[in-house]
Amino acid sequence: MSVRRATPEDEPAIQELWRAFSAESPAPPYIRMPEVLDLATGTVWVGERDGAIAGYALASEERGVIELHDLFVLPEHRRHGLARALVAAVDAEWPEATHMRLVVALDALSFYGRLGFEEESRRLALPMATLRGRLEKADLGRTFGSIHVQTDDLGGIERAVRQFVPRLPGGSRGSIVAPPRNGWIGIYDDVIERDPRQLRRLAKELGDRTGGVVFAFGVEEGAVTRFILFERGSVVDEYLSVQEHYGPLPPGDVIALAANPRVVARLTGADPAAVRAAAVHGATAADLPLPEEVLDAIAAAVGVEGAGHGWSDAPEIPGSVRIER
pLDDT recorded at residue 105: 58
Q: Could you tell me the sign of the dihedral formed by the alpha carbons of 269, 273, 278, 280, in that order?
A: positive
Calpha distance 150→185 (Å, rounded): 7
Task: Show which of 106, 137, 168 is a domain's final residue.
Answer: 137
The rounded mean pLDDT for the chain is 88
**Does position 136 have pLDDT exceeding 70, yes or no?**
no
Please say which residue of 122, 137, 152 terminates a domain.
137
Q: Are residues 164 and 206 in the same domain?
A: yes
Q: Does 122 lie in the same domain as 189?
A: no
Q: Which amino acid is at 83?
A: A
Count the Cβ atoms, other than its own, within 10 Å of residue 78: 14
- The residue segments making up the domain with residue 105 are 2-137
Q: How many Å apart are CA 33 and CA 22, to the nearest integer?
A: 8
Name the pLDDT band for 128 (thresholds 50, 70, 90): confident
- Asked if 56 and 14 count as a contact pair (C-beta separation under 8 A), the reply is yes
Facing residues of 100 across strands?
A: 66, 126
φ, ψ at 289 (rounded to 5°): -60, 175
Count of structural domains within the chain: 2
Reported as a single tens digit per residue, the pLDDT across 73-85 is: 999 998 788 988 9
Strand partners, 99: 65, 127
What are residue 144's DSSP bridge partners? 219
Considering the domain architecture, whether residues 151 and 291 belong to the same structural domain is answered as: yes
CA distance 164 to 153: 17
For residues 178 and 313, membership in a common domain is answered with yes
- Cα distances (Å, whole numbers) of residue 154 to 20, 164, 202, 229: 52, 15, 16, 20
pLDDT at 139 over 60: no
Are both 132 and 275 inside the same structural domain?
no
Selected residue with higher pLDDT from 121 and 261:
261
Calpha distance 178→154 (Å, rounded): 8
Check whether 115 has a pLDDT greater than 80.
no
- Average confidence (pLDDT) over 28-39: 81
pLDDT digits (tens, 9 = 90+) for 272-325: 999 999 999 999 888 888 899 999 999 999 999 999 888 888 888 899 999 887
Percent of the chain topping pLDDT 90:
65
The per-residue pLDDT for 107 is 47
Contact (CB, 8 A) for 309 and 296: no
At 108, is the pLDDT very low, low, confident or very high (cuts 50, 70, 90)? Answer: very low
Q: Are residues 108 and 189 in the same domain?
A: no
CA distance 4 to 249: 43
Shared domain for 116 and 150, answered yes or no, is: no
Shared-domain flag, residues 119 and 19: yes
Instruction: Indicate whether 37 and 117 sit together in one domain.
Output: yes
Q: What is the spatial distance between Cα 77 and Cα 23, in angstroms, rounded to a whole number?
A: 17
pTM for the model: 0.62
CATH code at 47? 3.40.630.30
| Angstrom distance (rounded) from CA 247 to CA 255 | 15
- Confidence at residue 138, expressed as pLDDT on a 0 to 100 scale: 54
At which of 137, 152, 179 does a domain end? 137
Amino acid at residue number 69: H
Q: Please write the tens of the pLDDT for every residue from 166-213.
A: 888 877 788 999 999 999 999 999 998 889 999 999 999 999 999 999
User: Do 188 and 284 belong together in one domain?
Assistant: yes
- HEC assignment per residue over the chain: CEEEECCHHHHHHHHHHHHHHHHHCCCCCCCCCCCCCCHHHCEEEEEEECCEEEEEEEEEEECCEEEEEEEEECHHHCCCCHHHHHHHHHHHHCCCCCEEEEEECCCCCHHHHHHCCCCCCEEEEEEHHHHHHHHHHCCCCCCEEEEEEECCCHHHHHHHHHHHHHHCCCCCCEEEEEEEECCEEEEEEHHHHHCHHHHHHHHHHHHHHHCCEEEEEEEECCCEEEEEEEECCEEEEEEECCCCCCCCCCHHHHHHCECCHHHHHHHHCCCHHHHHHHCCCCCCHHHCCCHHHHHHHHHHHHCCCCCCCCHHHCCCCCCCEEEEC
Does 174 share its domain with 302? yes
pLDDT given for residue 127 in this prediction: 84
Same domain for 129 and 218, yes or no, is: no
Q: What is the pLDDT of residues 222-257, one digit of tens each?
A: 889 999 999 999 999 999 999 999 999 999 999 999
